[in-house]
Structures are given as structure tokens and as C-alpha cells.
């Protein structure tokens, strides 16, 4: 399949975002141990301060939070029926960031003072300014990829259809209706346009959206906890900081395998929703049990790999199943709702798990 320039831009923008946001959250574990050695009884405070940066952005829809929503909606408009496969592929960039960025920060902290290391580390985020130019929008996509209406994102098709006559609208309508994911149930489609963006309408029309909200928020808690406290856990069990940081790399690589697994499932068949959520949680639970009985690096690496694989599959499922739970009219409001809840639950990953870490 040949991708259009709009699809390439949406894909690249989402990859850049996931690389930096997940790589940064994972690097907070390294920074936590570097800055909190004198306040070892208050990891939950430091953990909350780190998660607050991400959570506040989600809640305020600024920074990472705004980029999150924009890049997901852009990807959905650009790929339409292939959204699940495209989204799964972009998540591979997340695990590259998880595997690379903590090692980069650990190396910088060894070579420079903390302030200088963080200045160099954070300077890489200037590249996120390019997302505004890369992400397709109604203002920067006019005239691009006009070869086939089926290759034009839905938002841009809607813009052009408004200026056409009724006959042209009728020609575009089947194209847009054919862009829903193949695993979506047509009987859940909404017909009331006035209620499309209302939360009460979303809940009444799509009860599965509530189940997805619960699963998504539980994943956000697990991911933020796993990201920040994996490296500190390794150090608390006797590993040196230079060795513990490799747990992040191991988990990132295993997560990369988890992304490949999801891509293969979406490519050959629709993934089973029950096993897609149940198996990852079982793997994460097994990884947690291993850390309770074994303290050698090899066993901790196995636990990290189980957790990395499980978290990767969960992260894939919570977003790629959105089109299966809601109609196109409710897709945008669902994404906003899920990522707003993510901003709230992410805080508990820093506070609750930090408190548990101190008790252990």
C-alpha cells in the first residue's frame, strides 16, 4: 500500500510524540534516584511531581496533552479503516524511546552536573516544534494528494464538501462512510447530530465506552507506575544505578516485541478483546511476583520484560479499540475524555505507587 504525504505526516508526527513522551516518563525513574537520594522516605512526593508534569498537560490540553489528542485525531482522519494498524505501528517509537532515553540521561548525569545534564536532555524537545508543521490540518493540506478522494482525510473531505453542491456531497458520502474500521459494529452508529459531542449521548449510545474508560485508566496507572519506579526498584533491591538503568532498556525491547505482536494480530486478523486485555495483566502480575522473590539482575530483567510486553499490548489495545466502541461522530469526544481521565489517573501512579515503594 502506497501512503500519501498526509498519511506519512500524520504517522511521523505520532511517532515523534510517542518517542519523546514515553521515553521521558521512563527517564523520570533515573532522575528520581539522582535527585531523591536524600529524601528516600518521600518517593511518593517526587513521583507525584514528575507525573504532575504529564498529568497537568493532559488535563489542560497543553503541551504533551494537546499533542496527544491532535496526533491521534490526525492519524484517525488520515488512515480511517487502517487506523488500528497505523496506530499500532506508531507505538513502536514509544519503546525505542523507552529503551534509549533513560540510558542517555544516565550517561549525561555521569558526565555533567545535574543542571547541565537536564539542560542538554531537555533541549532535544525543541524538535517537537516541528509537529505543528508536520501534523496535517485544514490550513496546511490544501492541494495535497488530490488524486483520489479516498486518500483524503475525513476532516479535509468535510471541509471541501461544504463548498460543493449537493451532487458532490452525495459522491463523497460513501467514501467517508467506508472509512470506519472493519471491526466496528454498524448498529452502534449515531444518527442524532445534535448529541454527537455530548457526554451523556456518548454514554447512552455507546455503553462499551465506559468499560473502555475503566480499562484505559487502569492502564494509565500501571504505565506511570512501571515507568517511574522500575529503575528505583532495581536500585532498592541492590543493583547499582548503572545496572538498574538497563532494566528500562530490557523492558523497552520486550515492549517493542509486544508492539510487533499487536501489529501482526491487526494485519492478519482482528485481535480478541478479552485476551488482548487479560493476558497482559497476567504477565504484569507475574513480573511483580518475580520481584518479590528474586533480587538478581537476571530475574529482575525477566520481570521487566514481562511487564514491558504486557504494558505494550495494553497501551495498544486501549486506543486501537476506540473505533470498535464508538461511532465516528463520537470518536473525538471519546479521545478527549480518555486522555483527560489519563491526566487524573497518572497522578496516582506517582503518589500511590511511591507510597507503596516506601513501605516495601
pLDDT at 217 (0 to 100): 80
Cell 464538501, located at residue: 161
How many beta carbons lie within 10 A of that of residue 201, not counting itself? 17
Q: Compare 299 and 141 and report the one with higher pLDDT.
A: 299
Q: How far out from the chain centre does Cα 345 lie?
A: 14
Q: Contact at 8 Å (CB) between 237 and 291?
A: yes
Which of the 8 DSSP states describes residue 319?
Answer: H
pLDDT at 190: 47
pLDDT at res. 186: 43
Least-confidence region, from 100-104, 157-161, 222-226? 157-161
Res 174 pLDDT > 60? no
Mean pLDDT is highest, among 170-174, 191-195, 258-262, 270-274, for 258-262
- CB 324, CB 184: distance < 8 Å: yes
Mean of pLDDT over the chain: 71
Does residue 360 have a pLDDT over 50? yes
pLDDT at 188: 47
Share of the chain above pLDDT 90, in %: 0
CB 312 within 8 A of CB 91: yes
Residue 83 and residue 75 in contact, taking contact as beta carbons nearer than 8 Å:
yes
What the block records as the C-alpha cell of 57 is 498537560
SS3 294: coil
pLDDT at 149 over 50: no
Cell triple for 105? 540521561
Q: How confident is the model at residue 357, as a pLDDT? A: 60
Report the predicted TM-score, pTM, of the whole model to 2 decimal places.
0.63
> What confidence category does residue 150 fall into, taking pLDDT thresholds of 50, 70 and 90?
very low
Query: What is the pLDDT at residue 192?
Result: 44
Task: Work out the percent of the chain whose per-residue pLDDT is above 70.
Answer: 64
Domain boundaries, the chain: 5-359
> What's the rounded Cα separation, in Å, for the pair 347 and 353?
10
Q: What is the pLDDT of residue 193?
A: 47
Neighbours of 272 (CB within 10 A): 11
Query: In 3D, which of 132, 131, 123, 116 has the Cα closest to residue 24?
Result: 123
Average pLDDT over residues 54-63: 54
Q: Report whether CATH 1.10.3470 matches the domain 5-359.
A: no
Q: In the 8-state DSSP scheme, what is residue 163?
A: T
Q: Concatenate the DSSP letters of all residues of 79-109 into one string.
A: HGGGHHHHHHHHTHHHHHHHHHHHHHHHHHH
pLDDT above 60: residue 156: no
For residue range 232-281, what is the model confidence (pLDDT) as tens digits? Answer: 777 777 888 788 888 888 888 888 888 888 888 777 766 666 677 888 88
Predicted local distance difference test score (pLDDT) of residue 354: 63
Name the residue with cell 491521534. 72
Nearest to 339 by CA among 71, 25, 160, 32: 71
Assess whether pLDDT exceeds 70 at residue 182. Answer: no
Buried b (16+ CB within 10 A) or exposed e, 273-290: beebbeebbebbeebeeb
Do the Cβ atoms of 270 and 318 come closer than 8 Å?
no
Amino acid at each position: 500500500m502506497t501512503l500519501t504525504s498526509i498519511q506519512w505526516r500524520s504517522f511521523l508526527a505520532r511517532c515523534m510524540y510517542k518517542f519523546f513522551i514515553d521515553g521521558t516518563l521512563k527517564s523520570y525513574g533515573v532522575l528520581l534516584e539522582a535527585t531523591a537520594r536524600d529524601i528516600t522516605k518521600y518517593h511518593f512526593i517526587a513521583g507525584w511531581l514528575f507525573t504532575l508534569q504529564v498529568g497537568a498537560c493532559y488535563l489542560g490540553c497543553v503541551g504533551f496533552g494537546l499533542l496527544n489528542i491532535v496526533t491521534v485525531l490526525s492519524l484517525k482522519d488520515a488512515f480511517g479503516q487502517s487506523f488500528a494498524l497505523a496506530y499500532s505501528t506508531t507505538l513502536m517509537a514509544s519503546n525505542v524511546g523507552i529503551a534509549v532515553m533513560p540510558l542517555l540521561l544516565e550517561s549525561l548525569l555521569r558526565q555533567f552536573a545535574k543542571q547541565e545534564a537536564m539542560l542538554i536532555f531537555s533541549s532535544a524537545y525543541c524538535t517537537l516544534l516541528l509537529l505543528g508543521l508536520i501534523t496535517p490540518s485544514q490550513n496546511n493540506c490544501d492541494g495535497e494528494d488530490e488524486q483520489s478522494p479516498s486518500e483524503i482525510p475525513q476532516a479535509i473531505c468535510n471541509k471541501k464538501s461544504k463548498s460543493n453542491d449537493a451532487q458532490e456531497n452525495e459522491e463523497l458520502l460513501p467514501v467517508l462512510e467506508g472509512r470506519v474500521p472493519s471491526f466496528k459494529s454498524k448498529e452502534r452508529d449515531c444518527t442524532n447530530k445534535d448529541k454527537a459531542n455530548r457526554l451523556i449521548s456518548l454514554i447512552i449510545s455507546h455503553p462499551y465506552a465506559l468499560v473502555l474508560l475503566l480499562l484505559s485508566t487502569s492502564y494509565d496507572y500501571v504505565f506511570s507506575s512501571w515507568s517511574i519506579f522500575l529503575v528505583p526498584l532495581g536500585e532498592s533491591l541492590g543493583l547499582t544505578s548503572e545496572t538498574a538503568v538497563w532494566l528500562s532498556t530490557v523492558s523497552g525491547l520486550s515492549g517493542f516485541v509486544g508492539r510487533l505482536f499487536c501489529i501482526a494480530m491487526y494485519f492478519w486478523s482482528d485481535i480478541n478483546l478479552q485476551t488482548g486485555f487479560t493476558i497482559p495483566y497476567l504477565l504484569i502480575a507475574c513480573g511483580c511476583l518475580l520481584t518479590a522473590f528474586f533480587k538478581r539482575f537476571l530475574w529482575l530483567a525477566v520481570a521487566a520484560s514481562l511487564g514491558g510486553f504486557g504494558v505494550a499490548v495494553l497501551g495498544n489495545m486501549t486506543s486501537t479499540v476506540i473505533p470498535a466502541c464508538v461511532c465516528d461522530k463520537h470518536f473525538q469526544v471519546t479521545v478527549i475524555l480518555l486522555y483527560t481521565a489519563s491526566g487524573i489517573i497518572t497522578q496516582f501512579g506517582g503518589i500511590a505507587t511511591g507510597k507503596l515503594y516506601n513501605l516495601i
